[in-house]
Structure 1
Amino acid sequence: MTELRSLLWFRRDLRLSDHPALLAAAADGEVVPLFVVDPALWGPSGDVRRAYLLRSLRALDASLDGRLVVEEGDPVAVLPAVAARTSARRVHVTADTGPYGRRRDEAVEHALAADDRELVRTGTNYSIGPGTLLTGSGSPFQVFTPFSRAWREHGWPRPAVSPGDARFASGAGDGVDGPHWPAEPDLGDLALPAAGEKAALARWHEFLEERIDDYATDRDRPDQNGTSQLSAPLKWGELHPRTILADLSRKRSAGAETYRTEIAWREFYADVLWHRPETAREYYRPQLEALAYTEPGEAFRAWSEGRTGFPVVDAGMRQMRAEGWIHNRVRMIVASFLVKDLHVDWRHGAREFMHFLRDGDLASNNHGWQWVAGSGTDAAPFFRVFNPVTQGKKFDPQGDYVRRYVPELRHLAGAKAHEPWDAADGYASGYPERIVDHAHERKVALDDYARIRS
């Protein structure tokens, strides 16, 4: 008698623990683990995100004793072909709630059904699936605080049990033309943290035991190691937010509560994108599109390469080029500078981030940019303009963050690193002068905002 088989199509759930879709697949019999390198997603990704993904897949493959099947191509064609080749009647997935993922999965579902096979969605990449929570009037939430309140009151399931009895097929990739792993991009001197489920859990447990209690105060300090840097593991599902929330329930501190709120922000933006998928590329508040934006030119390139002459802005953009990551406080500072000092449409900055960041997540990234630009959800008025000098001095008071990423300013001690124009030797090592006058550009931005309001 032929043993039943099913496919487990990994996407943004690159782990084996706390994985409901894996449990559902294992209940069908032997599991063929599959990842599809989709050109629609691989093509627009930058080298950093590609490299991190491939390393995460290598870690997953090691956990599966080399049994992960990797295919390249359109999933609409790949999934029916692999299912037929492996005699799998069902394809199990964690539900994808992004705009492209929803369209793709519907097309895959139809293609499988045409061959009398089934796509089975189990679980979500979030603690509460986007689209689940609604206001008392039945409408989507547009403001974070009431969403967060409903999110906490609703609650979430405990982490899924361990799939200890799951049996993974060996040799499922046999009969195809060689391995389909893409080549890993050469990142030069850029160093990525360890990828994969084991590394993510180790990082989370270290943060939980040693730094979570100080998170409420330290999270805004880019000069300190005050954050968990788990945004990339969460983006790729190397651990589930439900796992984090279960661990946080055993902690009683302001830091733990603040971290829980940050998870809620991530889920809020996913919920917004579920209800308004067009806001991944378009303005949530379309009236802000009437601002007098300038086309990206030399000033945009200076911003992107970290040579604006504003130290904390340049440190942030150079950190992104050096590590594929930027501290969250600095993300807000550099975003405000691009939109309100250089008057560039937020979508250009959002694309730049998605290209260079290892944690590039469409919902969090693009709605975070809209928040800074004043065109997104919540009370995020356009006239909230970040002063890059005062922000730098407040959150990097001794200039350590700036000196770490801007070597031209390492000769300036303490807070002097934030104002090289006030030091006699501030430009001695070749640091560029400021490309704009912040006070003037702030007035230009606010005057333009007043114009469209009237």
Structure 2
Amino acid sequence: MPATVMWFRRDLRLADNPALVAAVEAARADDAEVVGLYVLDDALWSAAGANRLAYLVDSLAALDAACGGRLVLRRGDPRSVVPDVARAVGAREVHAAASHEPRGRRRDEAVRAVLAERDAELVETGSAYAVSPGRLRTGGGTPYRVFTPFRQAWLDHGWRAPAHRPREIPWAALRSEDPPRATPTAERLPRAGEDAARRRWHAFLREGLAGYDEARDRPDLAGTSAMSVHLRWGEVHPRTLLADLAAADAPGSDVASYRSELAWREFHADVLHHRPGARTESLRDVVPDDAWATGPAADAAFEAWAAGRTGYPLVDAGMRQLRATGWMHNRVRMVVASFLVKDLHLHWRRGAAHFMAHLVDADVSQNQLNWQWVAGTGYDAAPYFRVFNPVTQARKFDPEGDYVRRWVPELRGVAGRAVHEPWRLDAAPAGYPDRMVDHAHERRVALDDFSRARG
């Protein structure tokens, strides 16, 4: 029996998956079966962090179960694997959601060309975003560089309703390879899969959406949805979240705040679509090249930051949360990033690479451009002279120190807000390091560097 190929990538789900709907409709029109294919790309497998790989294996297992055990895994270069599978099953079409990250676009063009040589077609339907990157333009026809007008254009443009989940998908039985083994560095990872994503989201709608606008900045509270992991792997589509938000019984300010976070995610995807070099290159130069610390001392400082041993409790708590769970609260991400760039004077690329190696939700556009936002080098970024004070941030967003005490056991015996400034205690907590730098001094250094660049 002939078949149509559904090539899963960043859409590891069956619900609200327009590419899957298109594949099923094409198969039914030809009285064919659907080959559900996922290609374990060797290049990505060798470069991705262990936490992401372990999570991916779990997510693929969940998708395989949803497909009745008929998800086809193949390992190799998609540029050859996908056309070979299509030829083997006599497929005239390979269906997939459009990719917008630089590497994905190059891969898909190569696959498209090989398929065309074999009288087959790559059919792209939908994307990982409510509004596909590249679709919105300013009145002058240029890409957006500022978030607020982008968000308004995004809201004005709107998005389609969620796609229905196909019934009785005629999955083809085809040889599948065993998934590779992946051992995470984190002690515990979020539960993977489409069902886990929907459970987490519905729990947040019931218990977390009301009050989200204020609670989302509090790492000591369960104030965020933690849906970034599921969005990154496409276990849920943002369009589904937006539809549920529109129907939610919650204050308008909370709904608008959450919707704005989704818009921010799509803004960064749009920026990378137009400026693929932003993955590794600063969009703006804000300090002289000699402002970045290098050499053995800089390497030692980076290692202390990565290990959560800077002597600044909020920074250390965030870095230890990352190591333990493969995730970090967004407010804390900003604080630890600012500390690396503006207190330790290390280039944002070093921090971005560390996050990519350890975060389960690591996504090129979100990770790289959020780092550029903190560093002041991106579009609509925080100005370089905005330097997060790790103590002030801790007092404001972890007022009783509960977050710090959870992740920094050496400080669990310190009561109240004193936990944020252990160097002021009469006796230093056993095992906890002294401050590696003086924030006030390093802030002045960062501002002087900024002034030199402007001059």
Q: Does 1:384 align with 2:354?
A: no
TM-score by length of 1: 0.96
* Range with bigger deviation, 98-107 or 109-118: 109-118
Give the match for residue 95 of structure 1. Answer: 98
Give the match for residue 431 of structure 2. Answer: 430
d(CA) in 1 for partners of 2:171, 2:381: 49
CA contact (8 A) 1:23 1:166 kept: no
Give the match for residue 451 of structure 1. Answer: 452
CA contact (8 A) 1:409 1:426 kept: no
Question: CA offsets, 1:221-245, max 9 Å, x none?
Answer: 0000000111010000000000000
CA contact (8 A) 1:42 1:50 kept: yes
Q: Does 1:225 align with 2:214?
A: no
Give the match for residue 7 of structure 2. Answer: 9
Q: Does 1:137 align with 2:135?
A: no
| 1:67/1:318 CA distance change after superposition, 3 Å | same
CA contact (8 A) 1:288 1:375 kept: no
Pick aligned residue for 1:213 from 180, 205, 210: 210
d(CA) in 2 for partners of 1:142, 1:185: 39
Pick aligned residue for 2:347 from 345, 348, 368: 345
d(CA) in 2 for partners of 1:43, 1:419: 41
Give the match for residue 299 of structure 1. Answer: 301
d(CA) in 2 for partners of 1:313, 1:270: 27
d(CA) in 1 for partners of 2:76, 2:178: 10
Q: Does 1:21 align with 2:19?
A: yes
d(CA) in 2 for partners of 1:24, 1:422: 63
In the alignment, structure 2 segments of 5+ residues that lack a partner are 28-32
Pick aligned residue for 2:182 from 156, 181, 184: 184
CA contact (8 A) 1:5 1:28 kept: no
Matched pairs, number: 445
Letter in 2 for 1:163: P
Give the match for residue 285 of structure 1. Answer: 284
d(CA) in 1 for partners of 2:26, 2:139: 40
Distance apart, 1:431 and its partner CA: 0.2
d(CA) in 1 for partners of 2:53, 2:261: 26
* Paired-residue identity, %: 56
TM-score by length of 2: 0.96
Question: CA offsets, 1:194-217, max 9 Å, x none?
Answer: 100000001000101111011100
Q: Does 1:80 align with 2:79?
A: no
CA contact (8 A) 2:193 2:235 kept: yes
d(CA) in 1 for partners of 2:178, 2:206: 40
Q: Does 1:242 align with 2:243?
A: no
Pairing of 1:254-273 with structure 2 (within 5 A): 254-273=253-272
- Secondary structure of 2:6's aligned partner: strand
CA contact (8 A) 2:286 2:376 kept: no
- Secondary structure of 1:9's aligned partner: strand
Q: Does 1:331 align with 2:336?
A: no
Distance apart, 1:186 and its partner CA: 4.9
Pairing of 1:362-381 with structure 2 (within 5 A): 362-378=364-380, 380-381=382-383
d(CA) in 2 for partners of 1:379, 1:241: 24
Distance apart, 1:287 and its partner CA: 4.9
CA contact (8 A) 1:280 1:362 kept: yes
In the alignment, structure 1 segments of 5+ residues that lack a partner are none
CA contact (8 A) 1:283 1:289 kept: no
Q: Does 1:196 align with 2:197?
A: no
Give the match for residue 39 of structure 2. Answer: 36
Distance apart, 1:83 and its partner CA: 1.2
d(CA) in 1 for partners of 2:305, 2:138: 40
